[in-house]
Structure formats: structure tokens, C-alpha cells
Amino acid sequence: MPGDSSSPESSNAIGKTLDGFEPVRPSELGSNEVGSSELRREELPQGEPANAPFGKTLTDHSGQRAAEIRSRLGVAANTDVRSGSKTQRTLASKPWFTRRRVATGVSLLVILIAACLAGAILASAIQRATENLVRRSLLSVLAANEHSLKMMFSDLRSESERYSKDEVVRQLCRDCLQSGDAEREQVTSQLLVEIPPLIGSVPWVLLDQSGQIASSSRRSLIDLRLDLSKSNFDRLHGGQSTLVLPQYVQGWEDRDAIMVMVSPLMDRHQCYGAFGWVMEADDRFSQLLQITRSGETDESYAMDGQGRLLSSSRFEEALGDKGFPRNSVLNYEIRDPGYDVLLENAVNDPDVRRPLTRMADQATRRADGMDLSGYRNYRGAMVVGAWKWLPDLEFAVVTEMELSEAYLPATILRRVLIATLAGVVIFAGIAISLIAYSRHRAFRRLQREEEAIDGRRIGQYRIVELLGVGGMGSVYRGRHEYLRRDVAIKVLEGEQLSSRSVARFHREVQLTSTLRHPNTIAIFDFGQYSAVTGESQIGTVSLDDEVDPGETFYYVMEYIDGISLQQLIDFYGPQSPERTVHFLLQICGSIAEAHKAGLIHRDIKPANILVSAHGGLWDHIKVLDFGLVKDIGGDSNLTLQEGVTRADSMTGTPLYMAPETIRDPATASPRGDIYSIGSVGYALLTGRPIFDGDSVIDLCLKQLEEVPKRPEERVSHELPNQLQDILMRCLDRSVENRFASVAECTAALESLPEAGRWTQAMSADWWENEFEQAARTQPGQTKNPTLDDAALTR
């Protein structure tokens, strides 16, 4: 039975220190040239312990034992006992090609061939993985640049269209275009009152039908003429907004290339002018493309249909020293120089006509694409890149990175792989010849470690075995010296010791020990043990105190022989609605007590919740790991120094954190725990978390921006609507729409038809059949100590 700690399956559930190792008996090691494999334990010399290491027995007593056997059989010292004939054992009589040496050579050859094949396969896999990583990186940066540019120009278009349709502005613009110079100045003043500058003082302009600037919020632009393309004229006369690409305007004192987003001024379907906003190409436009820079050589830029650079080059200053123009906008063409300009001593010759780069050749044909094999860019460096033509803006946006930087991880891994293969070839022969000896020594070392752990004591507790190791301590199974009761002991010692970690350790045990709910892990003892004095005491440590590295801090909690809900989901899949409600009611009971005490758990997740069957209780829940708890009750006895676990720090698991907690950890509230309870119920019901993602950032973004699907949409069968409604209310992104308290959530769960339908008899049947079958076939998969390894690592 799972509840019986003496059953083999229960022992497997606890786990063993020497998983996968079997004791090596002397009779299994084969014969030895010095002694016989048929020597028995009773033939050991007097005083030799029965469990003495076999290697030691051969070393110390092989000659004596062989002499004794020969004397008993009446054979001379140089007689072969097995054949009965006298043979002189000399090195010359033994052939060099022995069976062992031939086997070693064949094994070495097999290992060499296998290593080469594995290396080739691994190198190919590394290359493919790196290419996928580079592809995703380029596409991500390209998409970000595209989105940023579209958003910026969309905002400018909206503003220009708004004013071009405003009756007051339209009338003033008409008066300005039809008036003389004196009246135009007065109208311009009125327009300055009606049209305030955009953020960053972006100036506006008023164009006549020929493209001449009749009025502007920047005086230096008035009377200058913009070169409008045929596409610009067609769009304006068709009543559409258009972007005038960067150009140098003759007579403008700033001498910077400008671009204008203009909207037509229409009267009876006739365009009599245009209103728009001006932006300098090497200012905000170029800066927007520079935001996504992350490496040393990656660059994003824009180019027009003729292959000219529309934004500032990242390498503008360095290229200027090589004979290129100092201002790159419209002065650089995306052409292949045939060599790396920055590495060669040659100076650019502007009279030499170069071909377009591979990227520019496709982009000027309005084609999107990506090149991961490498091509030369406008400065001659070998790069990988992705590009996209934006038809609405009439230019292409490009993202490139040098080939060496893009595939640097693959290069490093290949070098490591070559070095590893060389090491395998060099040491394979030594490893094969010593494999039996190394296995025996490894077994003996683990055995000694187990004996050392078994003999260790902390206070009144004897350490039995190690259960798990994490960033905030190690957990052992121990036994009280006098009560003979198994307990779980969390220990903080060695390299894990610091004033901050000790203070947080104290805080965790103090807060958890205030809770008494039967579904909350129970704390029995807490202390500080010195290995030097062997004394155990209780003390407190502040953040400013120095911690003695010889000290061991520990607390003792009840030992739960069961599995976590995460393991239940991983190995047994979705649970029935009745069992899910049964689990949720117990979890709510534990968290409700914590909230009543003014504590917020902040890390409720399946890995921190154990389910067990012991003491006649089946499917009994225990909530663990109150190390990230936030005290909102203001109890000075429980609140330690600031900085131990800061309320505004990012703690917990994003998969089960409320959106407001991800956005601002300082806003953690009881309703955030209710969100986490709903996430746990969702995972139990569907066998999957509420969101899937490739990274923590991806999960956080989905938590903040997306609404979870109803559980029924994630599975292939129907689910009770009322239960789904409760879970979706818990998972509502709006804090106000969730249950006001855990008690209210409990009441809603208790009102369900599924509440109370999961009986103890059904639980017992599951543990005795499904769990026992899994424990026999995969005992390691059902092991779960009191504190799971994943729960320890934060």
C-alpha cells in the first residue's frame, strides 16, 4: 500500500542515494592471475572482516592464500593448480596478443568510430540549431523594426489627416495658399496657434500643388521645394496620405535629409495642397532602427528602390576614414565592394561602379527574403540578413549581422566537440582498461558516502538520506533519536551560508510555523547546530551579522511520502473534474488560513503541492514552500530585515503568477494567490498550463496580454461549465473580477455538483491500482520527497 512506508514501492517513492548501482560481489569479478576466483569468504585469513573490500583482500593476502591452498593440495609453488602440470610462469611464455588486449583494441576502435559518427551528427545538429536561432533572432528584430516604423508613420499619418480634415485648419491653409507674402505671415501665425507641435517638436509644413512649402512651424523651411515623386502625386490626387522619402532640400540651412508624411487638402475631390509633418532622416528615423542593436556588428537600416541608404549607418565614422562620405543618408549605395573595407588598407574609389549586394538585388525588386549562408554587405563584410519591402512606405527595412558573430556559438561548440573527441580518443584505452576497477571504486565511494550520511547527526536527529538539493538549502530524510519517527530536515550550511540567506531561512520557518491547517506542511523543530561543539541552539541572525561557516541552520518538518501535483500531471495526465475539485478545496483551506493570518504565499504551483496516502487518508494535500511569502499583517515578530525577500522583487513562477504581480511585484495581494489557485486547477483539469511559451519573457507577455482559453478548448472532451466558470473567474486579468477571497472561492467550489463526489474509496482504488502499477514499472518517476527538487530551485 502506498501509505505503508515499509512497502517496497513506498521505499522507491522516497528514492535511494545509489539508484542504478548494484553491489559488486567478489564472485562476479572473475579470476585473477595472482589468486583464484574460487576463493570463498570462509577461506579469508583469521581476523579479516567478512565484508572487507575484495580488492584489498587480493592485495594484502593473495600470496599467502595461494600458498595455503597449494600446501593443502600438496602442489609445489610453481605448479598450476588447475592443470596439475608444472609450468614456469614467465613473461616470455605469454603471447602479446592476449584476448584482453585484442578486446581492448577492438573496443577502442569501436569507440573511435562511434565518436566520429556522433561528432558528425552532433556537429550537424549544432549547425541546424544555431541556424534556427539566428533565423528567429533576425525575424524578431526585423518584425520589431517593421512594427516600430509602421507605428511611427501611422501616428504621423493620423495627425496629418486629422488636421487636413479640420475645417478651421483647411480654411486657413486655403487662405495661406491663395494669399500674398504679407497675408501669408498672418495666416501662418494663426496656424501656429491652431496646430501645436508634436512630441519632440516635430515641425509641420503646408505644401502647394507643386511641392513648394508655403508655410511651416519651422521658418527656415518656408519657400523651399520638395521633390515629390510620381507616386506621391498620384496618392495625393487620389485623396491618400503619402510618405515623401528622405531628400536633401536645396536652400535649407540645416543641410540634413528630411522626410515628410503628408495628407491631401481636398475641395470637391480636387487636391489644392497638402499638410504634413517633417522628420530628419538621420534623427528620429535612424534612432528608431538603432534601438534593436544588441551585438557588436548587427545593424538595421532602411533603403529605397534604387539601393540607396535612407538611414544612418552604424559604421559611418569608420567608413568616413576609408573615403566614404561622412553623412551616409542617401550617400551610401548598397553595393558589394568585393572586400571588407574596414579590414583592408584600400581607400574607396567613388568612380568604380560595384554590383548590388545579394540582398539589395532582391529588395530593389520588392521581394522579401533571408540569407543565412552569408553574403557581402555594402562595406564588404560577410553577413547574414533578413529584409522586407514595405509597400505602403515604399522602402525596405533590413537587418544584418556579421557571419562570424551570428555563428559564434556554433563555432565554439564545434571546437569544444573536436577537443572532446580528441580527449575521448586519447583516454579511451585507459578508460577501458580501468573500467572494472573504476566501477568498483565508485561503488565503494558511494557506499562510504552513504555510511557517512547515515552516521551524521544534527541535534536529536539522525540523517538517513539526501532527498534534494536547491539554491536555498538541502533536504534530508531524518529520524528522531528517541521517538523513532521519520522527518524531513531542511539544512542551510557550507557555501549556501550568508547573512541574507540565514535571515530568509529564519523568516521562512517562522512564518510557516504560525500556520496550523491540516493541509499545510507542519514544522516540528528549528535550530542552529555547531559541528565544532556538537551543540544545538536557537538564535537569530540579522543582515549585518557575520555567519560562521562552521554553523548549520536547520528546521524539521513532517515527512510526506507522496508525489507532487506536477508529477501527477506529468505522469498521469488530466484529472477528473471530481478529483480536481477535491484537490482545490484542500488547497483553498490551506491558503485561506494563511490569508487570515495576513500572509500571501506568492508561489502556489503544482510542484509546491504534495498529494499523499497515509494514516488512512487518501488524496491528502499538503501545501509547501512558504519561503516567498509576503507578510501583509504587519506582525513585527515575523517581519525580518528589509531585503530578505523584498515585496517588490520578482519572485515565483511566471506560469502561475497573476498578471498584476508580473507587472509590479509590489502589488502582490490575496487575489494574486486566487489566480495561482485557478492556474493549478486549470493544469489539473487539462494536463497543461494556461499558456505555452518558449521563454520566460514570452510567458510573461502572454500572461499580461492574452486571455486563457477555456479548459474545454484544450481537451478533447466536455467539461462541467460551472467548474470552468469558476476557474476562468480566478484567472480573470482584472483583479476586481476575481473572487474577493479564498473563502468565496471555496463556497463556489462547494456548490458544484462535483463537490464531494470524489470519495475516499475512489482515492484508495487509484492509489492501490494506477499508482502501484506505475511504481512497479517506473519507480523513479513516482518518487517525491517532502520538498521536491524543483521547489527548492528558484
- Same topology, domains 165-283 and 293-406? Answer is yes
Task: Return contacts of 630-636, CB within 8 angstroms, 24+ apart.
Answer: 630/599, 630/600, 630/602, 630/668, 631/511, 631/598, 631/599, 632/598, 632/599, 632/600, 632/669, 633/597, 633/598, 633/599, 634/598, 635/598
Range scoring the smallest mean pLDDT among 39-43, 165-169, 324-328, 419-423: 39-43
The pLDDT-based confidence of 538 (bands split at 50, 70, 90) is: low
Q: Please tell me the distance from the alpha carbon of residue 522 to that of residue 591, in angstroms, as a whole number.
A: 14
Q: How many CB atoms lie within 10 A of CB 653?
A: 22
Please report how many Cα atoms fall inside a 13 Å half-sphere around the Cα of residue 179, on the Cβ side.
16
For residue range 712-735, what is the model confidence (pLDDT) as tens digits? 998 888 999 999 999 999 999 898
Name residues whose C-beta falls within 8 Å of residue 755's C-beta, 6 or more positions apart in sequence. Answer: 581, 585, 749
Residue in the block written with cell 501535483: 565
Running DSSP on this structure, what letter comes out for residue 649? S
The pLDDT-based confidence of 686 (bands split at 50, 70, 90) is: very high
**Minimal CA–CA distance to 573: which of 790, 702, 788, 766?**
766
Please give the CATH superfamily to which domain 456-561 belongs: Phosphorylase Kinase; domain 1 (3.30.200.20)
How far out from the chain centre does Cα 675 lie? 22
For residue range 329-343, what is the model confidence (pLDDT) as tens digits? 998 999 998 888 888
Res 633: pLDDT: 53
For the entire predicted model, the pTM comes to: 0.43
Percent of the chain with pLDDT over 70: 73
For residue range 624-669, what is the model confidence (pLDDT) as tens digits? 877 555 555 544 333 333 333 434 444 557 788 888 888 888 888 8
Q: For 227-244, what is the mean pLDDT?
A: 91
Res 582: pLDDT: 94
> Does residue 322 have a known ligand-binding role?
no
Strands 270-280 and 258-267 turn out to be antiparallel
Q: Identify whether the C-beta of residue 577 lies closer than 8 Å to the C-beta of residue 723.
A: yes
Higher pLDDT, 280 or 456: 280
Range scoring the smallest mean pLDDT among 292-296, 439-443, 451-455: 451-455
Please tell us whether the domain made up of 165-283 is placed in CATH 3.30.450.20: yes
Res 207: pLDDT: 92
Parse the chain into domains and list their residue ranges: 8-91, 165-283, 293-406, 456-561, 563-792
**Total residues belonging to the chain:** 794
The three three-digit cell numbers of residue 316, written as one number? 559611418
Q: Please tell me the distance from the alpha carbon of residue 450 to that of residue 17, in angstroms, as a whole number.
A: 7
The three three-digit cell numbers of residue 792, written as one number? 527548492
Q: For 18-39, what is the mean pLDDT?
A: 33
**Minimal CA–CA distance to 576: which of 431, 759, 739?**
759
Res 696: pLDDT: 83
Residue 187 has pLDDT above 60, yes or no: yes
CA angle 469, 474, 478 (to 5 degrees): 120
Res 446: pLDDT: 66
Q: For 473-496, what is the mean pLDDT?
A: 83
DSSP string, 262-277: EEEEEETTEEEEEEEE
CATH class label, 563-792: mainly alpha
Residue in the block written with cell 602440470: 85
Buried b (16+ CB within 10 A) or exposed e, 224-241: bebebbeebeebbeeeeb
Res 531: pLDDT: 60
The pLDDT-based confidence of 499 (bands split at 50, 70, 90) is: confident
Range scoring the smallest mean pLDDT among 1-10, 382-391, 599-608: 1-10
Res 93: pLDDT: 43
Q: For 283-292, what is the mean pLDDT?
A: 87
Q: Which amino acid makes up residue 788?
A: D
Q: Per residue, what are the HEC states of 280-334? A: EHHHHHHHHHHCCCCCCCCEEEEECCCCEECCCCCCHHHHHCCCCCCCCCCCCEC
For domain 293-406, the CATH architecture is 2-Layer Sandwich (3.30)
Res 35: pLDDT: 33
Q: Please tell me the distance from the alpha carbon of residue 27 to that of residue 675, in angstroms, as a whole number.
A: 61
Helix (H, G, I), strand (E, B) or coil at 594: helix
